[in-house]
Structure 1
């Protein structure tokens, strides 16, 4: 899926690596747009209107993605694959013709029923804003089932921690600040918590105006242009932290942080203001830091 993973475990059994790799292989086989034989790629190739049976994990992520689309009024959209590809952030990494703003939210054309899914028109699923978080949760569940109670799992910057380290310290994680912005480092303890960060400095393309973010605004079908440098969200589930970070990034500091506040989320947004950065923090995160 184009990124790396790591895991730190306390008293792991000898077969833990095999268990982790099995989870990752399962997620890739179902949700990777880079694998032509994956279930998501197969779904994207089917004719609009056809019902397609999909595996349980993929259906779980699609349901969560559609729920997030409804809550965020489409700021998170799991069906913007065509726009992602057109702007050069998809599997081919070729820049195509920039799409026009969709007449209807792509996610509204996806229907789920009894383990099957279908598209009502030609849209393409892209779960890159939620699948990494799901994979982190899936690994955590597998480790817990093996009796491992203390671990820190990371995939592409999305993390989940449980238990404590051998020195009885929690899993402390520093939330990275966007490069070039002189901001204090925020350190959080991941004890039964996950954190996901979406940032314009991770994947972008240079442009005449500076940089094109890989975060696509579903309303316009184009990269966001709201000066959001990064959003970090703390949540018990890495999958939801991942999706929320994407949605808040798209919505921006005003609408995004207002929604995060209403939902009781612990979130930090950093906005570029020239060469400086401005931080926005929800009350839930401020309360955690007191």
Structure 2
């Protein structure tokens, strides 16, 4: 939770709730820049709106030029795609739509799970340049919200806000001299916590299969090699220097053993299996309730 007495700017964006907490209220110009940045990110990446930049590729092959922040997003996805042998992919959107998680929120599957196309077969993404050889449904939700948290943090730092907490529905970035204590949401009861962790000039992101569920065993965390929901893990948390990396790794923990990720990333983690067993890294300095 933010420190007592801090001011909080709350708003909706990219389909979720946001809070930015600072010692002093954000002036109108900074609030406008924040809202414009969120709107621009949605206009670029949302697969739920027909006028977004990436949605055009779902209607046919083409070439698009992405904003500069796409460079870091592509780099992270390419590493996680390689490490997971394709299980984590920005092309998972077609599998989500097939299971009913589409722009119209039908929430009714149109067929059995189906893996998306392989990245190397249909997509050429180099930095800000992206070319699709056939219609594709891009979905960067596994790391995109975390990146947007970072972008808002950059706005705050550029406007001389050195103490802040950006909270995008559980994906957080903290800066300042005093750490904040964050509750870890119980994967089966959002009104309870399974523990707490101290956030100190770093990012904390979570991924949980209970956040977006529908139908019988259907949720939004899919295996890109099969198109099927993953049921071995129910919730994960990752702490890293940036929310982009923490968000991507929180999702990757559903698909990969933590040791494999630790070979290439500096982060700490906590995961809860479907059997209710919690596992965590030595660097995850929190407190779990019994």
Query: TM-score, normalised on structure 2?
Result: 0.84
1:43-63 CA-partner distances (Å, limit 9, x unpaired) = 33332xx33223323454234
For structure 1, the residue ranges without an aligned partner over 5 or more in a row are none
Corresponding residue of 1:172: 181
Does 1:79 pair with 2:88? no
Q: CA deviation at 1:271?
A: 1.0
Corresponding residue of 1:197: 206
4+ residue runs of structure 1 moved beyond 6 angstroms?
A: none
Corresponding residue of 1:37: 51
SS at match of 1:258: helix
Q: CA deviation at 1:99?
A: 4.2
In proportion to residue count, which structure has more strand?
Answer: 2
Does 1:247 pair with 2:246? no
In proportion to residue count, which structure has more helix?
Answer: 1
Corresponding residue of 1:272: 274
Structure 1 distance, partners of 2:94, 2:184, is: 31
Give yes or no for contact 2:183–2:193 (8 Å, CA) kept in 1.
no
SS at match of 1:154: strand
Q: CA RMSD in A?
A: 2.5
Corresponding residue of 1:139: 152
Taking a change above 3 Å as real, the CA distance of residues 22 and 135 of structure 1, as seen in their structure-2 partners, is same
Taking a change above 3 Å as real, the CA distance of residues 114 and 230 of structure 1, as seen in their structure-2 partners, is closer
Structure 2 distance, partners of 1:141, 1:68, is: 24
Structure 2 distance, partners of 1:127, 1:186, is: 29
Structure 1 distance, partners of 2:195, 2:213, is: 24
Corresponding residue of 1:214: 220
Pairwise mapping of residues 220-235 of structure 1 onto structure 2 (< 5 A)? 220-226=226-232, 228-235=233-240
Taking a change above 3 Å as real, the CA distance of residues 62 and 96 of structure 1, as seen in their structure-2 partners, is farther
Does 1:284 pair with 2:283? yes
Give yes or no for contact 2:19–2:167 (8 Å, CA) kept in 1.
yes
Corresponding residue of 1:118: 131
Higher mean C-alpha displacement, 145-154 vs 263-272: 263-272
Structure 2 distance, partners of 1:184, 1:127, is: 28
Taking a change above 3 Å as real, the CA distance of residues 170 and 265 of structure 1, as seen in their structure-2 partners, is closer
Taking a change above 3 Å as real, the CA distance of residues 17 and 229 of structure 1, as seen in their structure-2 partners, is same
Structure 1 distance, partners of 2:31, 2:77, is: 29
